Amino acid sequence: MTDNVNEKLDALKQHHSELRKDLKIFSDLLIEIKTAIGGNQFNDNKGLVFHQNKLKDEVEKLKRMTEQNSKELKNISRLTWIVISGFISACIYYFTR
């Protein structure tokens, strides 16, 4: 009976040892994930959150620029049609006189 108890005790110790190793691995992984998300002192706390916010700002800036460029392109298109129409009108006036 004592052999059976000793075997169970050894199995429990082994299991406990494996759990401690796993806990250490998970702890290290958690620290790495935390560092990746929030950053650390070596990268000026510029983790994924910082880069996501920076990317979001850049996208919004590009959207504003696209809208502005679209408006300017419409104005240039209208001006081009006015100039072409004026030129055609001038040609018609000149040749029909």
**10-30 pLDDT, tens per residue?**
999 999 999 999 999 999 999
Residue 82: CB atoms within 10 A of its CB come to: 10
Overall domain count for the chain: 2
Q: Are residues 28 and 58 in the same domain?
A: no
45 domain-assigned: no
Range of the domain at 33: 1-38
Could you read off the pLDDT of 30-82 as tens digits, one per residue?
A: 998 988 888 888 878 888 888 999 999 999 999 999 999 999 999 999 999 99
- 6, 40, 50, 70 from 65: Cα distances, Å: 75, 33, 23, 8
Q: Report the predicted TM-score, pTM, of the whole model to 2 decimal places.
A: 0.58
Instruction: Enter the tokens of residue 1.
Output: 């009976």
